[in-house]
Structure 1
């Protein structure tokens, strides 16, 4: 269903106002509101008309002054000046001030006016389409193409993503850093009925607390120091599409109540204004925090949590997607070589084993960095394990390199942590989620086993 074009007709002559309004209303796609003076029209600009036809001479204000006020409010509103006089210098001056066209009152005004409005509409549609194409970047976000993987864990995610595309339910995407939460949000948007409308991502952790309201709701000119022009917020920018609020757990409590109201009422108020603006955007939020724990700790509003919960989708960490590690590694390697016009590279069997033995605390993002660096550092088309550069913060880079019993694996893990954390058993117990007494007992048993073995040899 096509959204109607809002048009204001500002004309003090009753007969002429009805004539202009009648001709425009012949097009069912136009929604026309008529005003007898500029003052009343200016008060209703918060309705965001796309076109204003403005009589040059009005009882309360000159057309030039009315034009300036309209453009100050929103430069995107197109103004058509309608006048009884046909002076070239006046027309040129008004066009310089931002008028889209200057039409003298004459017998052919109907055709000229309709053609002008039609041209404005074509231009606006073209600009809107260009913005949509820029956002999509020509990509098709089919799940299997945008999210690489065949493991059971990622298949469960595909199933949830498909459910999310069928309705406008709010989606809460959770997962560790680097698991692809924004990619999942894009997959939802570009496979939904809103795919031709904007996808607007916002990183809540990157916005200073004092600017959050302005960033999401927008502001009026002069609302605060530095607000030189009226600015549309992210909610309005995402109208008809999807608003993706990443790192929602970082939001200050002072703004949480305002966000809750905006989500419940589907309306916002720009900073510096008391006009209510209706918004229609699908909400997808993401966090690497446990929001329920944040609620219990008093850092996140319980009512907002349940409002955002909607359909929960948890992205698994890469260490739980063993089948996908090599698939992703090959994908990143092929794409990197192609983008940099390099000969195709491959991974040796030893390199694959090393990748599978690593826990990837940085998840997919870390895997991508490791593979790209290896491609740069490699001297041969086959990437060998010695040039893989893993994070030094991971305690288990080689723990799976030998075949051992589970008991021996446990001893090796504890030894690695003892070395890394300077024999701080309490800290190691917290890291491994084990009891400190268990670690002490295992160390004692191993010592006794070694002592017993030595004693037996003496006999």
Structure 2
């Protein structure tokens, strides 16, 4: 859509004096392009000129205003029609509005002000629509397959193929992979390239929401449903209506809530806390996890029936260390993006720097690579990024950690904090990684806070 094209208005009025009056009033706005007609047929024959607005007299010599309105809407529903007439029968007005008229203005002394205000409102709405369309196009471009899966390895091509298959239907999708492999990006790529792209994409990090709040977060609650529920809250299922609900860290969902989620998926309806009335929902479900859900089922941590309901199309994202030369492709992409964002001269990787990147295992995957590259660009004094500029998170970590004498408790807290940062504050996962109790982590964090 061209935002610079003139705003075109057709005036359809058989009374010559009133026709000229309307044209004059509208012409007071310099960038309005006005064209006038005295019959309905004349107007319809010129609709190929794509007016934005048609002002239409209800009583024309050849056609009734309702007939012209229906014809206009059948040809191009985007054209807004304003009826202007001496007719003030409320039933007629209701009928016209029912068939798509934007407004009905009775011929009177204030017609000029009413008309200019109405046309201005239409124009503002038209601008907003164009901005929304442009934003949607930009979002779709941002999450196109090529911009989501950067690389040319067989693993990247396979992911590309699965994303394309996922966009063809509304099948549930399960995305697995280590932290930092880009699971949410893949979920967005599926959504914004599917037939649900114009509806919301609602992400929920299950692990980040306290156990006692997750039900309200997903299903919503009524006013007074519990202490502190001062107003009705719409849950994420309702927010995602018509679009996609992305449930990240799905393995962390408490088993007591899994039955309610299963019911919501089977019945395609939810019940807000404090209500008995079901609310119909229509949202596609995409889940992500860095755990093996089938193993969680076998361990009794995840319902088998929910597992099979959610599983759908599986997409496993490989760790960066298994994607070969994609490391260099991604590194160059991050260099270009960071330099452009910060208005810096673009950098290039030296052969030794590329070799160093390929030799590193990247436990933090793509997220870690991005951080390493952005730091390298910042540290480089020339247009070349050398191996000296590449600083990995694990390098000299022990030397740094031991450089300052601390107590064992302080070292333990430092380790816990590093793991919490690495795993997005997922306390349950960190407890498993460090082989300590969740309560121990909470106690250590409380002690640290008290000390501060």
Give the TM-score normalised by the residue count of structure 2. Answer: 0.60
Tell me what 1:164 maps to.
Answer: 166
Distance 1:245 1:126, change over 3 A: farther
Post-superposition CA distance 1:405-432 (Å, at most 9, x none): xxxxxxxxxxxxxxxxxxxxxxxxxx9x
Distance 1:139 1:340, change over 3 A: farther
Tell me what 2:192 maps to.
Answer: 190
Q: Number of aligned residue pairs: give it.
A: 294
Question: Which of 90, 114, 139 is the matching residue for 1:108?
Answer: 90
Distance 1:306 1:124, change over 3 A: farther
Is 1:264 paired with 2:246? no
Distance 1:323 1:138, change over 3 A: same
Q: For the residues of structure 1 that align with 2:128 and 2:355, how far apart are their CA atoms?
A: 51
Q: Is the 8 A contact 2:173 2:285 kept in 1?
A: yes
Q: Secondary structure at the match of 1:138?
A: helix
Q: For the residues of structure 1 that align with 2:170 and 2:129, how far apart are their CA atoms?
A: 22
Question: Which of 289, 292, 296 is the matching residue for 2:291?
Answer: 289
Where in structure 2 are the equivalents of 1:58-457 lying within 5 Å?
A: 107-108=89-90, 111=93, 115=97, 138-140=139-141, 141-392=143-394
Q: Secondary structure at the match of 1:283?
A: strand
Q: For the residues of structure 2 that align with 1:212 and 1:132, how far apart are their CA atoms?
A: 34
Post-superposition CA distance 1:378-398 (Å, at most 9, x none): 111101101211121799xxx
Q: Is the 8 A contact 2:174 2:313 kept in 1?
A: yes
Post-superposition CA distance 1:261-288 (Å, at most 9, x none): 1011111011111111111111100000
Q: Secondary structure at the match of 1:284?
A: strand
Q: Is the 8 A contact 1:135 1:198 kept in 2?
A: no
The Cα of 1:199 is off from its aligned counterpart by 1.0
Post-superposition CA distance 1:14-70 (Å, at most 9, x none): xxxxxxxxxxxxx9xxxxxxxxxxxxxxxxxxxxxxxxxxxxxxxxxxxxxxxxxxx
Distance 1:382 1:195, change over 3 A: same
The Cα of 1:376 is off from its aligned counterpart by 1.0
Distance 1:348 1:264, change over 3 A: same
Q: Is the 8 A contact 2:139 2:192 kept in 1?
A: no
Q: For the residues of structure 2 that align with 1:218 and 1:137, how far apart are their CA atoms?
A: 31
Q: Is the 8 A contact 1:238 1:281 kept in 2?
A: yes
Distance 1:311 1:236, change over 3 A: same
Task: Let me know the Cα RMSD of the aligned residues.
Answer: 3.1
Distance 1:133 1:182, change over 3 A: farther
The Cα of 1:175 is off from its aligned counterpart by 0.4
Tell me what 2:79 maps to.
Answer: none
Q: Secondary structure at the match of 1:243?
A: strand
Q: For the residues of structure 2 that align with 1:330 and 1:386, how far apart are their CA atoms?
A: 17
Distance 1:118 1:294, change over 3 A: farther
Q: For the residues of structure 1 that align with 2:130 and 2:202, how far apart are their CA atoms?
A: 15
Q: Secondary structure at the match of 1:210?
A: coil
Q: Is the 8 A contact 1:240 1:281 kept in 2?
A: yes
Q: Is the 8 A contact 2:248 2:289 kept in 1?
A: yes
Q: For the residues of structure 2 that align with 1:189 and 1:364, how far apart are their CA atoms?
A: 21
Q: For the residues of structure 1 that align with 2:140 and 2:170, how far apart are their CA atoms?
A: 22
The Cα of 1:220 is off from its aligned counterpart by 1.3
Give the TM-score normalised by the residue count of structure 1. Answer: 0.59
Q: Is the 8 A contact 2:149 2:159 kept in 1?
A: no
Q: Secondary structure at the match of 2:212?
A: helix
Q: For the residues of structure 1 that align with 2:102 and 2:214, how far apart are their CA atoms?
A: 37
Q: Is the 8 A contact 2:376 2:389 kept in 1?
A: yes
Q: For the residues of structure 2 that align with 1:312 and 1:142, how far apart are their CA atoms?
A: 20
Unaligned regions of 5+ residues in structure 1, if any?
Answer: 1-26, 28-105, 396-430, 432-459
The Cα of 1:164 is off from its aligned counterpart by 0.9
The Cα of 1:315 is off from its aligned counterpart by 0.5
The Cα of 1:158 is off from its aligned counterpart by 1.0
Q: Is the 8 A contact 1:361 1:394 kept in 2?
A: no
Q: Secondary structure at the match of 1:197?
A: coil
Post-superposition CA distance 1:109-166 (Å, at most 9, x none): 652696599769x999998997897687634222122220100011111111111111
